[in-house]
Amino acid sequence: MTASMPKLNIHKASSGGELATWLPVILGLIVLYAPSLYDLFTGIWARDEQMHGPIVLGISCWLIHRNWPNMREASTKGTPTAWGWLFFIFGVLLYALGRSQDIIMFEIGSVVWLLIGIALLNLGSNALKAQWFALFFMLFMVPLPGVVVDTVTMPMKMAVSYVAEHVLFWVGYPIGRSGVILQIGQYMLLVADACAGLHTLLTLEALGLLYLNLVRRDSLFRNVGLATLIVPISFTANVIRVMALSLITYHFGDEAGQGFLHGFAGMVLFLSALLLIISFDNFLLHVEKWRNRALLQHGAQA
């Protein structure tokens, strides 16, 4: 089913013509979501466990801009489709329900459906495929229901606390644990959601997927292998952050652990995750080379 409307020749349009075409869409989205973004920036995005939201939004917008030439090129190989109305209307209804009932997941998640509908109505499915990762990446900024977060987060915090305690005890630090509370020396630390929760795991998952998208490896083995390893990498990075906070508190006091160095530990989290991702990527490269050499030798012997 295709729309009877004429196809927008975005690829051949001048910069001014293209801006004039998309300006009403951009203004409409700004008017619709400006109140939502204000609520987010003054609400849950101001909390430690949700501070990845603005970063994901910014990266998603950059990805859309980065893939724009590919989207325009793909639009010349397809036609707009009226199926986009289904996604557009669903997005509008989802936004109305979320905004009126204060369901933030519906309100923010609706933007993905609206953008899908707009792309299909104006450019077609081929153009939408060029932006699939940017739209998928946006899902990481959608706040999850508290019930889901609480259910998944507690076992994760327990596991992170357990590993951090045993590693620090093994290297000689006076540390004990009761549930998700670590006691190192005279200090007690609560492993909070921001340190080892579901949101942190999702943020690191997003970081790993972004890395895969940017490097664009041709090897299926490396892509699948690294995507699979993102979960243990995220867990390890969380353990490193908790251990860093514990050591900061033990050596420099509770004030240092809760102040600037607490934020610095967050930087350590992402830096360690990125270094682990790059290290495992290089490791998989060597494994793939070894496997290819083995296959060539086996083929030569046969």
Instruction: Write the pLDDT tens digit of every residue in 45-90.
Output: 877 667 778 888 888 899 998 888 888 888 888 788 888 899 999 9
pLDDT of residue 251: 83
Q: Is residue 219 part of a domain?
A: yes
Average pLDDT of the residues in 202-210: 78
pLDDT of residue 7: 43
Mark whether 197 and 231 lie in a shared domain. Answer: yes
pLDDT of residue 96: 93
Mark whether 173 and 256 lie in a shared domain. Answer: yes
Give the pLDDT band of residue 141 (cuts 50, 70, 90): confident
pLDDT above 60 for 278: yes
pLDDT of residue 111: 93
pLDDT above 70 for 22: yes
Q: For residues 231 and 130, which has the higher predicted lDDT (pLDDT)?
A: 130
Give the pLDDT band of residue 116 (cuts 50, 70, 90): very high
Average pLDDT of the residues in 179-206: 72
pLDDT of residue 113: 94
Q: Is residue 34 part of a domain?
A: yes
Mark whether 131 and 168 lie in a shared domain. Answer: no
Considering 99, 117, 141, which residue would you say is the last residue of a domain? 141
Mean pLDDT of the chain: 79
Average pLDDT of the residues in 258-283: 72
Instruction: Report the distance separating Cα 191 and Cα 48, nearest Å.
Output: 13
Q: Is residue 3 part of a domain?
A: no
Q: Is residue 9 part of a domain?
A: no
Please list the residues that pair with 188 across neighbouring strands: 183
Mark whether 24 and 166 lie in a shared domain. Answer: no
Mark whether 207 and 279 lie in a shared domain. Answer: yes
Mark whether 109 and 159 lie in a shared domain. Answer: no
Average pLDDT of the residues in 149-177: 84
Question: Which residue range forms the structural domain that includes residue 46?
Answer: 15-141
Q: Is residue 73 part of a domain?
A: yes
pLDDT above 50 for 5: no
pLDDT above 50 for 11: no
For 102-111, the CB contacts below 8 A with 24+ separation are: 104/39, 104/40, 104/44, 104/143, 105/142, 105/143, 105/144, 105/145, 107/36, 108/36, 108/40, 108/141, 108/142, 108/143, 109/139, 109/142, 111/29, 111/33, 111/138
pLDDT of residue 13: 46
pLDDT above 70 for 302: no
Mark whether 129 and 261 lie in a shared domain. Answer: no
| C-alpha of 242 from chain center | 21
pLDDT above 70 for 168: yes
Q: How many domains does the chain have?
A: 2
- pTM, 2 dp: 0.70
What values do phi and psi take at 12, rounded to 5? Answer: -95, 0
Catalytic residues: 195, 241
